[in-house]
Amino acid sequence: MVIGSRRARPDGATVAATATAVLMALALGMIFFYVPTDVDQGYSQRIFYFHVPIALTTYTLFLWSALNAARYLWRRDPSLDLKSYVPMHLGVIFGSLTLATGSLWARISWGTWWFWGDTQLTTFLIIFLFNCAYFMLRFSVEPGERRATYSAVYALLGVGLIPLSVIGVRFAQRNELIHPITFNSNGANMDGSMFLTFLVALAAMLSLAVTMYLVELRGKRIDDRIRAIRRLAEART
Amino acid sequence: MRAYRALLRKDLLLEWRGRELVPAMLAFVLGAMVLVRFGLGGETLAGGTRAATGLLWVIVVFTSMLALVRSFAQEREHGIWDGLLSTPADRSAIWAARATATFLFLALTQVVAVPLFWLFFLQEGRSPSLGVLVAALLLADLGVAMLGSLLAGLATHVRAREVLLPVMFLPFMLPLVTVAVRLTVDTISPQTRGFHTSQGLGFLALYDTIFGLLGWALFEFVVED
């Protein structure tokens, strides 16, 4: 009966994966063939259309994780613990990609792999370390309610850490203007076609994250169910 | 409030009788400062007062870690947890009392650390402003104590807690130290460009407020069983 209903209506992950494939193809086409080359930075500026959407996706994933952590503490529903863990896990992947693409871009446009004076790179490093600590905590506690609660508490602390890191690091840096300012209070600081490409790339990246989220969530649920069945079977024998 | 006072009294009394933590922290501060002094070059100070002031903050962070790792150790080792949790006291009172005690221990350690710093590191009459340094230290101690007590509670029932606590704690220290170092180093010879002392202290106060609220709200989940 479950199979029948699946055939009638494609599930969320399939829809998301299809949307990702279309959007990603469109974004790549626009980045390499449509958008004009930047006057100042030349061809290499195109990495911007990967780097910034990936960074924004990372922030979104953390926000989603923290939101579900708060909901878990409120409602105590184990599925919310998974919904908080999975985006945090994906956040590490996207976070590493942000650091890697940022570092590449830094090498090309500033001539150095890493620049401590740059606010956003440094902030991301702090968040990355926070992330690693989350996993160390999570896997130091036996699975169960305690693990879920501790993970949720630590994830929520990140909500305090991220804005404080952004403000603090920006405060303390002397050369804060080295990172290109793309968005300010007047809106997007770029040409119309560049902005359009950026939006498509952002949509593609977000939709990729949603797909990965749904797939991993399903995997984790199947995992849990198999474990429960195995426990039952062991109890019977 | 009564529970808070009683718990704080218990924490301070335990330390007064056992003298376990503060002497160890003092010895650690002294050792770390000597080590840093040699690390910066025996006779002439590499990097000068500015580098030393930055390193003072690193020492402050590591000393506070010492206090946090031992935090709730008595409760764990002597089975005090169950007793504490069976009282009708608000869970947040346990956190608040622990944070206050940690704050007092840190401040006490710094009463010794700051003069030592002056003695060891200051050269040619260049020194950071004492007022700003003390204000920044007190605000930082408060933040460290409030956040740290929550994390220490979190680490209590975890495998390898002595290793895990520093790992969980350090990312939260990065924005704090970044601002605190800039704040105190700039009072030596200002190289500011729109950075004011009040802004820096304001940031530290914001840090305290955020982690104070989070600690107060989240601690009850940490000790619920």
What are the extents of the domains in chain A? 47-179+188-232
Beta bridge partners of A184: A187
Chain A residues whose CB is inside 8 A of the B214 CB are 156-157, 159-160
Chain A residues whose CB is inside 8 A of the B182 CB are 171-172
> Measured between alpha carbons, how far is residue A197 from residues A43, A49, A176, A184, B213 in Å?
15, 7, 26, 18, 41
d(CA A23, CA A135): 31
Establish if B167 touches chain A: CB-CB under 8 angstroms.
yes
Q: Which residues contact B99 (CB under 8 A, 6 or more apart)?
A: B145, B146, B148, B149, B215
Q: What is the mean pLDDT of residues A94-105?
A: 88
pTM of the model: 0.84
Give me the interface pTM, i.e. the ipTM: 0.86
First to last CA, chain B: 23
Strand (E) or helix (H) holding A46: none
Establish if B172 touches chain A: CB-CB under 8 angstroms.
yes
d(CA B24, CA A141): 29
d(CA B223, CA B225): 6
The answer to whether the CB atoms of A156 and B218 lie below 8 A apart is yes
DSSP-derived secondary structure letter, A42: B
Beta bridge partners of A38: A42
Angle at A53 between CA A47 and CA A58, to 5 degrees: 125
How much is the mean pLDDT over chain A? 84
pLDDT at residue B80, rounded to an integer: 77
d(CA B189, CA B182): 11
First to last CA, chain A: 29
pLDDT at residue A176, rounded to an integer: 47
pLDDT at residue B127, rounded to an integer: 75
CB A179 within 8 A of CB A119: yes
Q: Residues in chain A whose beta carbon is closer than 8 A to a beta carbon of chain B?
A: 73, 122, 126-127, 129-130, 132-133, 136-137, 140-141, 146, 149-150, 152-154, 156-157, 159-161, 164-165, 167-169, 171-172, 174
> Measured between alpha carbons, how far is residue A157 from residues A225, B27, B221 in Å?
30, 32, 13
The neighbour count for residue A39, using CB atoms within 10 Å, is 8
Q: How does residue A187 score in pLDDT terms, banded at 50, 70 and 90?
A: low
What would the pLDDT profile of B33-71 be if each residue is shown by its tens digit? 888 888 887 677 777 777 888 888 899 999 998 888 888
d(CA A139, CA B146): 25
What would the pLDDT profile of A6-62 be if each residue is shown by its tens digit? 556 678 888 989 999 999 999 888 888 887 777 777 777 788 888 889 989 999 999
What would the pLDDT profile of A196-212 be if each residue is shown by its tens digit? 888 999 999 999 999 99
